[in-house]
Amino acid sequence: MKVLLTGSSGQLGHALQKFVPPNIELITCTRAQCDLANSNACIEIVRNHRPAWVINSGAYTAVDQAEIEPEIAFAVNAEAPAAFVEALSEYGGRLLQISTDFVFDGNQGIPYKIDQLVNPLSVYGSSKAAGEKAALKFEGARVLRTSWVYGPVGKNFCKTMLRLHADRASAGHVLKVVADQIGSPTSTFTLAEACWRVIMLEKELVNRRLFHWSDAGVASWYDFAFAIGELAVQNGLIQRAADLKPISTPDYPTPAQRPSYSLLDCSSTSKLLRLDQRFWRTSLAKVLHQLRADLSSS
C-alpha cells in the first residue's frame, strides 16, 4: 500500500517512519518537496503519486505566532487538507488528518468525547478546527485528535525543558512552569502506532471518521516538567534538575489563549484500534532513553 507522508522531517513524521508497517510503501514529503501553504502544490503531489493514503502530519504549530500571522496558519492547517481532499476524491484515496485538543475551549472538567462540539480559543485552534471540517466533508477522510505531543526529534516542550533544567540548575535559578493547565502528554512513539492502526484497520473502521488518542493519565505542564527533570537525571541526560516553582496562567501571559483543561476521552478509540494507552510517564521514559541512545551514537 502506498502512503504519502507530509511533515516527514517533523517530530511525528520521524516516528511514523520509525514504526512504518512492513507492507507500506512510504513516500516522505518535506516542506521543500510540498509547501503545505500552497494548495496547488498539495494537489499536484497527490496527483503525481496517487497514494492510497495521505497522512497529513505536517502542520503550522507555532501557537503564539499564529495570532499575528493567521493567514499562514489557515493556509497550512485548513486549506492544505481541503486540497488533499480535492485530489484524493478524484480516484478514491484516503486522508488521515492529525488534529489537536486545542479545538476545545477547556471549560469542562471531564475528558472531551469525540462527538462534542469544538470551540477553539486561539487562531491555531481555529485553523485546526477548520482543517477538521474540510477533511470530514470527504467520506474517505479520518481525523485523529491528540494532545501535548513530544518526542526525541524536533522542537517540543520536553526538549525545551531538558535545556532549561540544565541551564537553571547550573545557574542556581528557579524554573517557573504553569501548573493550572491540564492535559496529557503524548509521545510521538505511541501516537505513530495509533496512526498506523487507523490505516491498517481501515476495513473495520469504515463507519468511524473521528478518533481521539493520547497517552494515559493526567498532568499539568508543571507535572510534566518535574517528571522530565527527574527522569532525565536518571537517564544521565542532565546532572541535576532545576528547582521548579508552579505558577498560574496569568503569571505567564502568552499571545494565544490555551484551554485550561484538554483531556481527551480515548476509550472508544482504544477499543476500536485494540490498542491500550500507556501511562504518560512510561512513554516519557522511553523517549528520554531514545534521546540518550541518540546522543551516545552521535
222 among known catalytic residues: no
Using an 8 Å Cβ cutoff, are 114 and 268 in contact? yes
Using an 8 Å Cβ cutoff, are 66 and 37 in contact? no
- Note the Cα 216 to chain centre separation in Å: 15
Question: What is the DSSP code (8-state) at residue 180?
Answer: S
Sheet containing 25-29: order of strands:
25-29, 2-6, 53-56, 94-100, 141-146, 210-212
Query: Which sign does the torsion angle of CA 291, 252, 254, 127 carry?
Result: positive
Closest CA to 104 of 265, 271, 297, 287: 265
Choosing from 60, 124, 150, 222, which is the catalytic residue?
A: 124
- H helix intervals, 29-156: 39-49, 70-74, 80-88, 123-136
Distance from C-alpha of 114 to C-alpha of 136, rounded to nearest angstrom:
13
The set of catalytic residues is: 124
